[in-house]
Structure 1
Amino acid sequence: MAPSDYPRAAIVTGADQGIGRATAIALARAGFDVGFTWHDSEAGAANTAAAITALGRRTASSWLDTTDLPSCAPVIEKLAANLGSLGVFVNNVGIGLNSSVVDTSYSDWQRILDTNLNGAFLCLQAAAKLLIAGGSGGRIVVVTSIHAHQPRFGFGAYCASKFGLDGLTKTLAVELSEHGITVNAVAPGEIATHLGPDETRHPHDIPRPGIPLGHAGTADEIAGVINFLASPAASYVTGASWEVDGGMAQMGAQASSHVANNDWRQATRKGTSNGD
């Protein structure tokens, strides 16, 4: 089959804000009808839908909490039915937790694993079945994290979920290859999706000396890579995990000699969000 034969219909999870919203809009701009799930913000979901419609593309949306495991597959199936087909699926939902392993309660561990991995498995499985049944190939892109490759103090549950998601992505790439379906991961570093209302600087103007490029990234920069992996141009890319982190992952060797104090031992990430 030709690399552009798959339907121009996409589903993105967690698209009421941040990376998910930017991805849904990027795919609509690229000519896809886009269905999406949302969790935190009904107003954000409405804004995403309006942006897709303004680009002349059809849209459908549904609320989804991926910790409600039985609801995951039916939501994906319903969105695909509303679009009439499926060619691209982007798994983006994820939440974080700042807690050392010895201080993490089992309920918190389970919540992170259900949201980031178990719910993702059910969504990905449903999407894979739909793409196989469609018989026209397709694209799956999974948003993981730089911490799917590198651990971080206080991120035990998060890292476990993202390492697992990365492994699932690579396995799906092998299993779905015979159907003309590519499966890749995008592993963001620090992405400025939750800046405070008083922060008026562009993320590129906020210094981050520990990142080689010197600043955090934007949701649009992640969406651009996802859009490429969802396109016919990426027809020979599968099983890859693209680090989109401004070079953050390359700093391991420097950290041992250039980190000047023990501040890194403190958990600094505050709050959670359902949508990377």
Structure 2
Amino acid sequence: MKLENKVALVTGGSQGIGRGIALRLAEEGADLVINSRHENDQARETLAQIRDLGRRACFIPADVGVVADCRRLVERAVEQMGRLDILVNNAGVQTHASFLDASEEDYDQVLDINLRGPFFLAQAFARHVRDRGHRGRIINNSSVHEELPHPNFTAYCASKGGMKMLMRNIAIELAPLGITVNNIAPGAIETPINRDLMNQPEKLDTLLQNIPANRLGQPRDVAGAVAFLASDDADYITGATLVVDGGLLWNYSEQ
């Protein structure tokens, strides 16, 4: 197991891609801290699945759009698990609105959770790693939309473009501390957030025409990439985005 004796924090880890990442890291030997805004049945189910794999796991509620919560989340994770080695900034939101109609509230929500949270979680995590004197991994769940425009989702695209430059900058600053920083950029992944799409065959077919692999991605596709970047096999990789999209990014066109 490549991640034995490591402890990972996965934000938004109770369902969808976050759950897939958490379970894959557990399969590789890591113990897990799962976060979402509130503990619920999905979070408890994720914890049970991790423990069934023989790993330690705990849940810590926090709103990653609030800086004080970010710092408290890292502090409590260290208190409960003893240390943190891997941070996966997975939590994210998106709102559908044309640029002319987007509200300040929409913008603030998206930027707070998708960019402010990863910034200050990474800062708190890096300080912990520095103070303990061990190595660390920061992996951000970004999106193909850190590169690809997506009309009616401008705030979301801006947050992911910002995440790309955040990753590149702190990769340089944190490399001397033995901390690597990378992004995963998923394309269209089959998760609960896409449930409406799955129930609209015409829209789904149009999307699949843009994906050379001719299928939606699965959480396991993203989780495998995260597990690789968290492992020693990726020790010399930092400041990079690994695209996981079945070829969508360079084949996409608005219909």
Superposition TM-score, scaled by structure 1 size: 0.84
Q: Distance in 1 between matches of 2:13 and 2:178?
A: 26
1:245 aligns with 2:245: yes
Please say if residues 6 and 138 of structure 1, whose CA atoms lie closer than 8 Å, have aligned partners that are also in contact. Answer: no
The structure-2 alpha-carbon separation of the partners of 1:41 and 1:61, relative to structure 1 and needing over 3 Å to count, comes to closer
Structure 2, gaps ≥5 residues long: none
The structure-2 alpha-carbon separation of the partners of 1:74 and 1:37, relative to structure 1 and needing over 3 Å to count, comes to same
Matched residue, 1:188: 186
One of 160, 176, 179 as aligned partner of 1:178 = 176
Stretches (4+) displaced over 6 A: none
Please say if residues 10 and 22 of structure 2, whose CA atoms lie closer than 8 Å, have aligned partners that are also in contact. Answer: yes
After superposition, residues 1-276 of structure 1 pair within 5 angstroms as 8-39=6-37, 42-194=40-192, 196=195, 208-252=208-252, 255=253, 264=255
- 1:99 is paired with a residue whose SS is coil
Matched residue, 1:272: none
Task: Report the CA distance between 1:128 and its aligned residue.
Answer: 1.2
Matched residue, 1:269: none
* Paired amino acid for 2:45: N
Please say if residues 182 and 238 of structure 2, whose CA atoms lie closer than 8 Å, have aligned partners that are also in contact. Answer: yes
* Paired amino acid for 1:133: D
Structure 1, gaps ≥5 residues long: 265-276
- 1:10 is paired with a residue whose SS is strand
1:2-35 deviation line (CA, Å, top 9, x unaligned)? xx89951111110010111111111111111111
Q: Distance in 1 between matches of 2:3 and 2:13?
A: 25
Superposition TM-score, scaled by structure 2 size: 0.91
- 1:249 is paired with a residue whose SS is coil
Task: Report the CA distance between 1:249 and its aligned residue.
Answer: 0.7
- 2:180 is paired with a residue whose SS is strand
1:32-84 deviation line (CA, Å, top 9, x unaligned)? 11111023661111011111111111111111222333211111221122111
Q: Distance in 2 between matches of 1:231 and 1:149?
A: 26
Please say if residues 151 and 159 of structure 1, whose CA atoms lie closer than 8 Å, have aligned partners that are also in contact. Answer: yes
- 2:151 is paired with a residue whose SS is coil
Please say if residues 77 and 83 of structure 2, whose CA atoms lie closer than 8 Å, have aligned partners that are also in contact. Answer: no
The structure-2 alpha-carbon separation of the partners of 1:40 and 1:148, relative to structure 1 and needing over 3 Å to count, comes to farther
Q: Distance in 2 between matches of 1:181 and 1:5?
A: 15
Aligned length: 247
